[in-house]
Amino acid sequence: MAVELTGAGVDWIHLDVMDGQFVPPITFGASLAAALHRIVPTPLEAHLMTLTPERHIESFVQAGCRRVVFQVEATAHSHRLVREIHSAGAKAGVALNPGTPVEAVRPLVTEVDMVLVMTVNPGWGGQEIVWPCLDKVRELRSWAPELEIEVDGGVTPATAPRILEAGATTLVTGSFLVSGGTVQERVAELREACGSKL
Ligand code: ZN
What's the pLDDT at 189?
A: 95
Mean pLDDT along residues 155-171: 96
Mean pLDDT along residues 174-196: 92
143 Cα–ligand 1 center, Å: 23
192 Cα–ligand 1 center, Å: 22
The residue from 11, 113, 135, 152 that is catalytic is: 152
| Residues contacting residue 172 through CB under 8 Å, at least 6 positions apart | 14, 47, 116, 150, 151, 152, 153, 155
What's the pLDDT at 17?
A: 97
Q: How confident is the model at residue 126 (pLDDT cuts 50, 70, 90)?
A: confident
What's the pLDDT at 123?
A: 83
C-alpha span between 82 and 31 (Å, rounded): 22
Q: How far is CA 76 from the centre of its chain?
A: 20
142 Cα–ligand 1 center, Å: 24
Mean pLDDT along residues 117-138: 92
184 Cα–ligand 1 center, Å: 20
Query: Does the annotation count 16 as an active-site position?
Result: yes
Mean pLDDT along residues 87-104: 97
Query: Does the annotation count 113 as an active-site position?
Result: no
Give DSSP secondary structure letters for 122-165: TT-SSPPP-GGGHHHHHHHHHH-TT-EEEEESS--TTTHHHHHH
The residue from 16, 19, 113, 135 that is catalytic is: 16
What are the tens digits of pLDDT across the range 13-23? 999 999 999 99
Whether residue 124 is predicted with pLDDT greater than 90 in this model: the reply is no
